[in-house]
Each structure stands twice: as C-alpha cells, then as structure tokens.
C-alpha cells in the first residue's frame, strides 16, 4: 500500500479563502481584524516564520503589524509593550514569536497577553476555558492537525492515538483534542522504552519531537494515519520531519509531508484564531 497524502498546502488555501470572506464581512462593518506580531532578537528561523505569517495575513485581508525589537530589550519593556497592546482596541490578536532571548521568562511573557487576544493559544486561561467548554483558542499546531484529520473524514471515536512529544505547545493540547473526540490517547516521548511497541498499536500517530527519522516503517500499523509535526534539517540542509517519509508512506494509510503538511496549517489556524478574536470583540 502507498499512503494517501494529506496536503497541508491545499487545505490551508481553503482555510485562507474562508478567512478572506469572513474578514471582508467584518471590514464591511468598519472592523479591520488586526494581529500584532512581536519579534525580539534576530533568530534566523523566527525571521522566516514571521515573514510567512505576515504574508499569509496580507493574502486574507487581515492586517499583521510586525514589531521588531533588539535582543537586548529588557523583559520589563516587553511586558509593558504587551500591556499596551492588550489595551489597544484596534488590536485583536497578539503573537509573541518564540523563542525569546535567554534573559526573558517565556512563560511570564505569554501569561501577560490578554486571554481574549491570545491567538497562539498558549495562555493557561485558554487551555482552562476550552477544557470546560468556554470560548478560548486552541494552540495553532494541534488545531491544524485536527483540521487535517477532519479533512479526510476520519472519525476518532474508539480509535487509539499515540502522541510522541509531551510539550505544552503541541503534545498535551493535541492529546486533549483527541480525547475530546472520544479517542484513547497515549503520550510518549523519544526516550519511551520500546516506542515501537506503542506506535504499532496506534490508529493515529502524531510525531512532534524534533528528531529526524524517529518514526520508521516497522513502527507503524498498516493503514494508520501519520501526522508529522517535526521540523528538522538533514546534513544537506534539506527540511525534513520526524517521520521516515519514504519508508512509512509504504505502510500508512494517510500521511502528512514535510514541508507542505502541518506547517502551512499552523499558520492558517493563526489566521482563524485572529479572525475569531475580532468577531468576538465585535459581537
């Protein structure tokens, strides 16, 4: 068998088209959905990520204001800037690009963002609200993964999902989302003893560790859905995920590529969250 591809680029285009329509409706009412992106320092990967986010926003009619601050910026100054953005009614979403410089406490900075503008979905209040069924924002990467499963009409009820990666950004929110769809969920990590014994039982595998070729064909149950969240570089500098794509695609039923899979979906869900923040403020 050769796995069917879950094309993140194509799905993201559909989502951006929907965002464009909803954005136009808000603008017709005099409301301009606006995202503030705060970048501190000159991390090369972050520079690329924010460029894509600004371009995606422009395509849909959203306004993305990119603020660049020097790596020497004091944490107190960043917190003051976030407070000002919280108080600005023209700003609907705030994204602080990670990683931050070492002298800053990322958790403290993220928690300073108003939950109503936390379009990255990292604030503890967002997770708490969603757990009890209140409006909040899911983190963009796991939200994008769920949209990919939805796009192929995959029912998670009664299925066993294995999430490899325990981070608060992907692993834990991903597990919560899968549980909400009545799946049985096992969370593992790269050092889990006999990881293959776990993954071979799974109907769905989400690999989100950041280790190239972590998941190989012999670790996958035939017909399983494999979602690759990993972002790594080969020795030649080529982008790759956590999954041995060439091998696993001959076993899995569905698989996401890297690049062109979860990455564009993560950015698409940021647009959705920003738009929803604007819609809620206008309600």
Residue 119 counted as domain residue: no
| CA 192 vs CA 103, 126, 186, 189: distances in Å | 32, 29, 11, 5
Residue 22 counted as domain residue: no
Strand spans (E) along 24-129: 34-40, 63-69, 93-96
Contacts for 85 with CB less than 8 Å, ≥ 6 apart: 36, 38, 91, 94, 117
Instruction: Say whether both 90 and 145 belong to one domain.
Output: no
Counting Cα atoms < 13 Å in the Cβ hemisphere of 182 gives: 5
How many separate domains does the chain show?
2
CATH number (domain holding residue 144): 3.40.50.720
- pLDDT reading at 232 higher than 80: yes
Instruction: Say whether both 92 and 196 belong to one domain.
Output: no
Residue 44 counted as domain residue: yes
User: pLDDT by residue (tens digit) across 113-169?
Assistant: 999 999 999 888 887 776 766 778 989 999 999 999 999 999 999 999 999 997 777
Residue 1 counted as domain residue: no
- pLDDT at residue 124 in the model: 85
Instruction: Say whether both 103 and 64 belong to one domain.
Output: yes
Instruction: Say whether both 147 and 85 belong to one domain.
Output: no
Query: What mean pLDDT value characterizes the chain?
Result: 94
Query: Which residues are the active-site residues?
Result: 53, 97, 120
Residue 124 counted as domain residue: no
Q: Report the pLDDT averaged over residues 176-183.
A: 92
Is residue 163 within 8 Å of 146, Cβ to Cβ?
A: no
User: pLDDT by residue (tens digit) across 235-274?
Assistant: 888 999 999 999 999 999 999 999 999 999 999 999 999 9
Q: Give the torsion sign (CA, 161, 223, 155, 170).
A: positive
Share of the chain above pLDDT 90, in %: 84
Residue 270 counted as domain residue: no
Taking the C-alpha atoms of residue 280 and residue 92, their distance in angstroms, rounded to an integer, is 9
Instruction: Say whether both 60 and 144 belong to one domain.
Output: no
CATH number (domain holding residue 89): 3.40.50.10860
Instruction: Say whether both 92 and 156 belong to one domain.
Output: no
Instruction: Say whether both 102 and 185 belong to one domain.
Output: no
Q: Which domain holds residue 56?
A: 30-114
């Amino acid at each position: 068998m050769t796995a069917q591809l879950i094309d993140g680029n194509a799905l993201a285009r559909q989502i951006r088209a929907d965002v464009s329509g909803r954005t136009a409706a808000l603008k017709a009412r005099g409301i301009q959905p606006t995202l503030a992106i705060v970048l501190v320092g000159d991390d090369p990967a972050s520079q690329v990520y924010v460029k894509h986010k600004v371009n995606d926003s422009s395509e849909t009619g959203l306004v993305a204001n990119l603020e660049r601050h020097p790596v020497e910026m004091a944490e107190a100054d960043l917190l003051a800037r976030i407070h000002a953005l919280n108080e600005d009614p023209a700003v609907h979403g705030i994204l602080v690009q990670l990683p931050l410089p070492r002298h800053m406490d990322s958790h403290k900075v993220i928690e300073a963002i108003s939950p109503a503008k936390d379009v990255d979905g990292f604030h503890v209040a967002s997770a708490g609200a969603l757990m009890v069924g209140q409006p909040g924002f899911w983190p963009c990467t796991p939200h994008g993964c769920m949209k990919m499963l939805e796009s192929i009409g995959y029912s998670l009820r009664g299925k066993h999902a294995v999430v490899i990666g325990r981070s608060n950004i992907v692993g834990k929110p991903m597990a919560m989302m899968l549980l909400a769809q009545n799946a049985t969920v096992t969370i593992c990590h790269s050092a889990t003893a006999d990881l293959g014994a776990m993954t071979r039982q799974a109907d769905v595998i989400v690999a989100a560790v950041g280790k190239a070729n972590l998941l190989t064909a012999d670790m996958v149950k035939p017909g399983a859905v494999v979602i690759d969240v990993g972002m790594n570089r080969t020795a030649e500098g080529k982008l790759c995920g956590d999954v041995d794509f060439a091998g696993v695609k001959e076993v899995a039923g569905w698989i996401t590529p890297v690049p062109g899979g979860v990455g564009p979906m993560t950015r698409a869900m940021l647009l959705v969250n920003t738009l929803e923040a604007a819609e809620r403020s206008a309600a």
